[in-house]
Amino acid sequence: MHGNHPSWFTHLIKSDPSDSIFLGGLFLEDNLPPSFVSLISSKTSSGSASFSPPHSLHKTLNFQILHRRGRAVSDGGGCGFLSVSLSANGSGENGDYIQDSEDYLGQNGNKGSMEKAIQHEEEEEEREKKAVLRGSGAMNMTKHLWAGAVAAMVSRTFVAPLERLKLEYIVRGEQKNLIELIKTIASSQGLNGFWKGNFVNILRTAPFKAINFYAYDTYRNQLMRWSGNEETTNFERFLAGAAAGITATVLCIPMDTIRTKMVAPGGEALGGVIGTFRHMIQTEGFLSLYKGLVPSIISMAPSGAVFYGVYDILKSAYLHSPEGRKRIQNMKEGGQDLNALEQLELGTIRTLLYGAIAGAFAEAATYPFEVVRRQLQMQVRETKLSAVATCAKIVNQGGVPALYAGLIPSLLQVLPSAAISYLVYEFMKIVLKVESS
């Protein structure tokens, strides 16, 4: 930049006899030569350099390069802005008027404005990123909930006849053996009788399972982040399962109470879901929808802990086995060529098996609570008993085995239900591309 100056440049300096400061600038491309880029300090957001032309010109030309914070031009991180200030005809020593461009820009607010603009742009980008993350998080949560809901719909519809038999034993106190009870329902209500109340059951179980699955994955991952472990511990699995069961129970018990009332003796006359809901509100008050909440929570906490904990433990044990590691490696090599079923980490059969085992353990461990809860939901205000009194009454009337009335048909219902539920849930997470919470 020394020596030969264009004629227009010399004319510009000499043309104005008064003290002047000329400001200008240009945007720099990201392919600057190293000799020029070396003027920029890699550790700061701006760099400056001063160049003095020959003394005969009695002028000082200052350059300053401003670039995006953390994105130096020398690193190929984007373009910069070259700001130029020219002092002319000053009264400094030897007639030179020498003024640092940084000082001048600071006095006039130009540099501050530019830095503020850059900071504002960065803040805007940060806000946009957060908005995108919130939007993607909400979408992922919705897909996660849908995966659980679809799993509940499919599994409950498949096992609805077994669910009906279980309720006959628990609610109506049937003493007939299983074969006789099946014949009775078939002869009196036909084939559709085995799916009686299934729509209401889906309305209850779909949101319940959706919340349950989502809450478990969320709680488990959060506990793992808090503990700093690379993998969830067994205690964290059981704790997350218990918390998920409580969460889903509190939110969904009103629908369960309505369904129980509908299938009870005289429930046909109440007129479906809306009629039963209206009847309960008018005759017993809003809190009647939460009958049996305490035993439900006492039941679902250990049930959720066992159901999710056992499945997760079995799954983790398999994935850490040589066979499991080999399967994961094969899945990575297959990539996009694999269909949804082939992408199941446990495979179809093992997912069904582990789901059935988890369901059986959970049902057997908490079945007495289920019996007491159903009896509480059947009570009216005038003859309402506490959970302990209800349990004692059941034992007095039928002995301890009465707390396990209907366990066999219940297990027959739970085994395929839990198996199908886990299979459909894992399948839908792959189809919907659900990310880990």
pLDDT tens readout for residues 157-207: 888 887 777 777 766 665 667 788 888 888 888 877 788 778 877 877 899
| Arithmetic mean of pLDDT, 93-103 | 44
Strand partners of residue 26: 82
pLDDT tens readout for residues 49-75: 444 444 444 444 444 444 444 444 444
The pair of three-digit structure tokens given for residue 331, joined into one six-digit string? 């899945």
Q: How far is it, in rounded angstroms, from Cα 239 to Cα 81?
A: 56
Judged against a pLDDT cut of 60, whether residue 27 lies above it is answered with: no
Contacts of residue 128, defined as CB under 8 A and 6 or more positions apart, other chains included, come to none
Predicted structure pTM score: 0.60
Which of the pair, 199 or 124, is modelled with greater confidence?
199
Which pLDDT band holds residue 106 (cuts at 50, 70, 90)?
very low
Residue 316 confidence (pLDDT): 93
Strand partners of residue 49: 63
Judged against a pLDDT cut of 90, whether residue 265 lies above it is answered with: no
Residue 185 confidence (pLDDT): 80
When the pLDDT of each residue in the chain is averaged and rounded to a whole number, the result is 74
Please name which of 273, 280, 272, 275 lies closest in space to residue 255, comparing C-alpha atoms.
273
Residue 390 confidence (pLDDT): 83
Q: Output Rg (C-alpha) for the chain, integer angstroms.
A: 37
Residue 309 confidence (pLDDT): 94
Judged against a pLDDT cut of 90, whether residue 429 lies above it is answered with: yes
Residue 55 confidence (pLDDT): 44
Residue 175 confidence (pLDDT): 64
The dihedral through the CA atoms of 370, 375, 381, 386 has a sign that is negative
